[in-house]
């Protein structure tokens, strides 16, 4: 196996481990309506987006803090965490994985799921909406 292929394999394994830790953190603090979106081929900023809701600003902040804690335990330092002061929408940037934790009204207003899944539905499914 070439060194490039070896690095890619290690990176994929590391990303999968980090993904599992993010899922565990979201489940641990009972995040609501968790959605995982594969954005490879749509953007170069990340491979995966997680979008989740919290029941209050305190819950949103706690979920984001748990994601950061679990990521650090997995050996990944966040590149950035935004929105913790207001805690209506907290973004945790883990490189290939970005986690958005929002209050339901903020999530509804911005509609990130719709933005990142445009064109993903089969034509028949879109016609039934």
Whether 126 is in a domain gets the answer: no
Domain of residue 40: give its range: 3-115
Q: How many domains does the chain have?
A: 1
What pLDDT band is residue 121 in, cutting at 50, 70 and 90? low
For residues 74, 24, 45, 86, the Cα torsion angle rounded to the nearest 10 degrees is -110
List the structure tokens of 15: 């990303």
Average pLDDT, the chain: 87
pTM: 0.82
Beta bridge partners of 81: 92
Output the domain CATH number for residue 79. 3.30.460.10
Decide if pLDDT at 7 tops 70.
Answer: no
What pLDDT band is residue 125 in, cutting at 50, 70 and 90? very low
């Amino acid at each position: 196996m070439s060194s490039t292929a070896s690095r890619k394999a290690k990176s994929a394994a590391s990303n999968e481990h980090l993904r599992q830790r993010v899922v565990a953190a979201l489940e641990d603090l009972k995040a609501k309506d968790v959605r995982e979106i594969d954005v490879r081929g749509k953007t170069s900023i990340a491979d995966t987006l997680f979008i989740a809701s919290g029941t209050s600003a305190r819950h949103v902040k706690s979920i984001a803090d748990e994601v950061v804690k679990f990521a650090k335990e997995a050996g990944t330092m966040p590149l950035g965490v935004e929105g913790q002061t207001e805690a209506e929408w907290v973004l945790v940037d883990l490189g290939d994985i970005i986690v958005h934790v929002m209050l339901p009204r903020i999530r509804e207003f911005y509609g990130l799921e719709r933005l990142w899944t445009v064109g993903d539905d089969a034509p028949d499914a879109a016609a039934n909406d």
